[in-house]
Structure 1
Amino acid sequence: MKTILEKKQAIVSEVAEVAANAPALVGLDLSGLTVQQVTGLRREARKADVYLKVVKNTLLRRAVEGTEYECIREQARGPLMVAFSRGEPGAAARMVRDFRKANPKAEVRLVAVAGRLLRPEDLEAVAKLPTREEALAQLMGVMQAPIAKLVRTLAAPHGKLVRTVAAVRDQKQG
């Protein structure tokens, strides 16, 4: 059986590993919520590929040492559940935003993206970050726009000539 110290060390190393690879973090105070509500949040976290864990603040502070989330060390106080995005930066923020719509008692206490601590009010801005697929689609649209405009510009004189000839033909037939 593991000792208490070994269990704490395992938690710290697990959270540190996740924090080292996570693009964003959201800290949530779940005081006043029922077990069913928290279980629903955990279910949504699994679907959204978000690492969710209730960690003692002292262990969280040790876990984020040496990572880009060292900026949250001073704000990690009180009951806290941390949600680390694993893939896209906005995944945890979107999940928390949607959860808070149904459960307004959940309070956002920490928001950090790429090692930068943001205000809890900035959760909505982080949640609106595009997914990887959306960002690629936007990039392709921007890259394709000049070429499409060039093609339309080159095709315009031919189309105008065809419409003019058609109008002359219709005028002579009528």
Structure 2
Amino acid sequence: MTREEKSIAIEDLTAKLAGVSVVYLTDTSGLDAETTSNLRRACFKAGIKLEVVKNTLLEKAMEASDVDFGDLPSTLKGNTSIMISDVANAPAKIIKEFRKKGQKPILKGAYITEDVYIGDENLDRLASIKSRAEVIGEIIGLLQSPAKRVLSALLNNVEGKSEE
């Protein structure tokens, strides 16, 4: 790779990292072609961008980015794939699903809205993070519950009076 190609690759990676709130770094080395293809397909269906990257280029892109990735660049050793998503727990769920059949992909680290998680031991915690849609659904459910009880009580009260 020439210097100019490296510079372009760093600019592209920096642009991809700009404004993202969810970035996972994984090790996908050793996956066979079929498993890799299935992983890419699952990521595409979930709206996750998956790309194998060169560690030095990604590290320079992280440094050039306005985002503070904390200690995440320290995980850039060996084979690295980057997963970029809008949903915080989506990449973790896909990794967990693929780990049922094998030992990879391995979570190196993740950046989720200013929080940095280092190490594969965080996978369960990341998978259990509720998405924005799930949180909104729970809030709506909680707000609707008292209203439903009031309406039910009023309807029961009205029905009881009309029978008298």
| Shorter-chain TM band | 0.7 to 0.9
> 2 CA distance for matches of 1:131 and 1:99?
20
Q: Compare CA radii of gyration and give the structure with the larger one.
A: 1
- 1:58 matched to which residue of 2? 56
> 1 CA distance for matches of 2:115 and 2:42?
25
- In structure 2, the CA distance between the partners of 1:134 and 1:105, relative to structure 1 (3 Å rule), is closer
> 1 CA distance for matches of 2:104 and 2:18?
30
Query: Are the aligned partners of 1:68 and 1:114 in contact in 2 as well (CA < 8 Å)?
Result: no
- 1:157 matched to which residue of 2? 157
120-129 or 43-52: bigger deviation: 120-129
Could you give the per-residue CA deviations for residues 71-117 of structure 1, whole angstroms, max 9, x where no partner exists?
A: 312222222111111x2222222222222222324322112211222
Aligned AA (2:74)? E
- 2:35 matched to which residue of 1? 37
Query: Are the aligned partners of 2:28 and 2:81 in contact in 1 as well (CA < 8 Å)?
Result: yes
Please tell me the root mean square deviation across aligned C-alpha atoms, in Å: 2.3
- 1:115 matched to which residue of 2? 114
Could you give the per-residue CA deviations for residues 15-36 of structure 1, whole angstroms, max 9, x where no partner exists?
A: 2222223222221112322122
- 2:95 matched to which residue of 1? 96
Could you give the per-residue CA deviations for residues 47-92 of structure 1, whole angstroms, max 9, x where no partner exists?
A: 211121221211111111231324312222222111111x222222
> 2 CA distance for matches of 1:21 and 1:98?
28
Query: Are the aligned partners of 1:30 and 1:80 in contact in 2 as well (CA < 8 Å)?
Result: yes
Aligned AA (2:87)? E
> 2 CA distance for matches of 1:13 and 1:103?
34
Shift of 1:139: 2.1
> 1 CA distance for matches of 2:99 and 2:20?
22
> 1 CA distance for matches of 2:4 and 2:14?
15
> 2 CA distance for matches of 1:44 and 1:11?
25
Aligned AA (1:30)? T
SS of residue matched to 1:21: coil
Aligned AA (2:18)? A
Q: Superposed, which structure 2 residues align to 1:67-106 within 5 Å?
A: 67-85=67-85, 87-106=86-105
Aligned residue-pair number: 161
151-160 or 50-59: bigger deviation: 151-160
Query: Are the aligned partners of 1:24 and 1:112 in contact in 2 as well (CA < 8 Å)?
Result: yes
Structure 1: tracts of 5 or more residues without a match: 166-174
> 2 CA distance for matches of 1:22 and 1:34?
29
Alignment partner of 2:24 out of 23, 26, 32: 26
Aligned AA (2:135)? A
